[in-house]
Structure 1
């Protein structure tokens, strides 16, 4: 990376903890930082309110509240950099919190999808083809590892740029090497979040094709997909920014930072502040399925019984006996056959029907008396 790419102010005599240049590539504006502090502060209050009021989605609200709190700290450091732009620690701290904040938001989105799928038939495996808990665990681990790589790369960029204008100029890595570390972390994070967006789209597509009551509500799907795409836009911007290199066109533009970093994240987290997740989740139509005392085997047997009833009703209403080939069962009317199907299923489930054993035995006794 050549020094000519930096066109900002020079600090000829940097004090302790200062750099000879502004690592941002520009002096952070006061206006953007104040707007960000106000909007994220309001979003933080909304999510704290949801955290206190709504018991079913407290972990989700806690993650989004953490995201907003991190953003407040990050933009607070950027506001401090407006007055002291050469301080290296301000850059490192703001980068840490602004990079980590969307990770907590994406973890909340993973949790939202998993919580919605677990309310559906068979725990959502019909749509995802595997346990939603696996998705949550894998995605959170991937985000954690890639975020640590990004923070290390950003810190090394600050150290390398600070050392360039000192007398000794000693630095463990060059700015290009630190930028490559940061780029690797961002590339892996972009790939992992893209995989989540694809799985989310697949679940929504499969849900729209189902004809049962077990499906994702459209409003929930729309909000979650839109919020995820906003985070995807922000992650893609960060990837392009670092791919151009430190002090490249995207890196040195605060207008792009405001439009593609601040705006997508605040829109994504604010949507769930005004319309809480609990109001968007599907209705738990089989609440007993999530009781710890209910086994999966009994649930599968109940589902099979329901399907068998439907088949019996259809066959009872559609099949017609053929002339010359009538058996005692075939000669029954469709209504009698439908009633027989229900009685047969009720007896299998241990339900006392009209043809219970006591009445059947009484009928047999009366028949014997007539014969005698």
Structure 2
């Protein structure tokens, strides 16, 4: 499929602008989004959603209820992205909706990660953590929530400016500020996680597989957040934003793998309360 880049933005001659009331004069993505990627993502996240819903009930892990929320948002985001790909890549509303859902979803996954560390601290002993487990939840979830609102506002301003061929600098600066604080906050969380795991290493000998999966999922979410910051720093019409390969490898793939890791190494299997372990006749160190 041929494509053309114009001074005012990207258009695809095989998909002429339908000039609808909700259409931008350019394809804001910077490329024609792939229907195959959007469909694959929607299917994978739907499968993971079904499994997580079952696992939350099976293992009674209500503290992981934010994961299904994240998955629902991911599915919605990729559904709207598929509409952009198949029906109208110029649609401003579909671009904004897919961006909103896909950008917001990982925040709920991060909340689950914070909750898992909090539960892990309670399981191995609060003495291993520099701060109380409840404070872990309060500080990091609050930071993510506020910064996500900031990012959404910035992204909306960028989309509106690009659709009207205006300067998106203000929106970009707001979005960058939100992402920068989020990256910094998550980095502090990684330090806290490292401290807890190092101090409690002798108490975690039977949980090595789970800890490895948990750390891997956490790092994947962090990589995705760093990618978003780099993407915005370059600009909407720059290389990272306008090449879908980066989106697929550094947005879709990290979150998909992280979600699936939580399916396979579900915290409910490893971080059960002692009463649940006895009642279920299993060990909290159950292997996959």
TM-score category by the smaller chain? 0.7 to 0.9
Question: What is the aligned partner in structure 2 of residue 176 from structure 1?
Answer: 169
TM-score (norm 1): 0.68
1:35 paired with 2:40, answer yes
Give a deviation string over 1:212-264, Cα, whole Å, max 9, x none: x5878323321211110000110111111000011100000101100000000
Question: What is the aligned partner in structure 1 of residue 92 from structure 2?
Answer: 88
3-state DSSP of counterpart to 1:119 = helix
What is the RMSD of the two structures over their aligned residues, measured on CA atoms?
2.1
Kindly state the Cα deviation for residue 88 of structure 1 after the two structures are TM-superposed.
0.6
Work out the CA distance in 1 between the residues paired with 2:171 and 2:206: 43
5+ residue gaps in structure 1?
165-170, 288-372
Question: What is the aligned partner in structure 2 of residue 281 from structure 1?
Answer: 271
Greater C-alpha Rg: 1
Give the 5 Å matches for 1:105-254: 105-121=109-125, 124=126, 126-164=127-165, 174-208=167-201, 210=202, 213=203, 217-254=207-244
Kindly state the Cα deviation for residue 13 of structure 1 after the two structures are TM-superposed.
7.2
Select the residue among 69, 73, 78 that pairs with 1:75: 78
Change in 2 beyond 3 A, CA 1:128/1:175:
same
Question: What is the aligned partner in structure 2 of residue 20 from structure 1?
Answer: 25
Alignment: residue pair count: 268
Work out the CA distance in 2 between the residues paired with 1:216 and 1:180: 46
Work out the CA distance in 2 between the residues paired with 1:177 and 1:75: 27
Kindly state the Cα deviation for residue 116 of structure 1 after the two structures are TM-superposed.
1.2
Work out the CA distance in 1 between the residues paired with 2:95 and 2:73: 14
CA contact 1:43–1:273 (8 Å) conserved in 2: yes
Query: Quick one: higher RCO (CA 8 Å, sep 6+), 1 or 2?
Result: 2
Give a deviation string over 1:74-103, Cα, whole Å, max 9, x none: 000000001201111101111111011100
TM-score (norm 2): 0.87
3-state DSSP of counterpart to 1:205 = helix
